[in-house]
Amino acid sequence: MALEGNVQDAAKTLALGLATAFGAIGPGAGVGYLMGKTVESVARQPELRGEIMGLTFLGLALTEAITFYALLMGFVAFFIS
């Protein structure tokens, strides 16, 4: 069974899909853990809610950045090479 079609286009599409998929695993787990810890600490000390929310947003942005590194490489493979 021979491969039909453009192998290069198929490889580029595959690269984009795999980069997005694998890049979302780690940060997904990380953000879930972070929000769980936030809920836990607000339940322990409700009066610190404002400060904890500030730290939560900081952690969210830093963790989400990791998925964008992977997505960026996928875009580079798809659109540029």
Partner 1 sequence: MRRLRAAAILALVGLLLAPAAAFAKSDFQPQEEFKLDPYVSIHIGGLDLSINKAVVYLMISTVLSIGFGIFVVRGGLRMRPTKAQNAVELIYDFVDEQIARQTLPASVFSRWFPYVATLFIFIGINNLISFIPLPVGHESSLGGLPDFALYAATANINVTLALTLCTFIIYNYEGVRAHGVIGYLKTLAPEGLNPVMRTLVFALELLSNILRLVSLSVRLFANMLAGHLLIIVSAGFVILIGNFAGIIAIPIGVFFYFFEWVLIAGLQAFIFAMLSGIYIGFAVEAPH
At 24, is the secondary structure helix, strand, or coil? coil
**Of the listed pieces 6-14, 24-32, 34-42, 66-74, which binds partner 1 according to CB under 8 A?**
66-74
Q: Which residues of 4-14 are buried (b: 16+ CB within 10 A; e: fewer)?
A: eeeeeeeebee
Q: Should residue 75 be labelled a site residue for partner 1 when binding is judged by CB under 8 A?
A: yes
Phi and psi at 4, nearest 5°, equal: -105, 160
Residue number, 1 or 68, with CB nearest to partner 1: 68
Query: Which residue of 15, 31, 71, 77 would you call a contact of partner 1, by CB under 8 A?
Result: 71
Least separation in angstroms between residue 70's CB and partner 1 is: 9
Distances (CA, A) of 5 to 9, 15, 18, 53, 76: 8, 17, 20, 51, 22
Residues within the interface to partner 1 (CB under 8 A): 54, 57-58, 60-62, 64-65, 68-69, 71-72, 75, 79
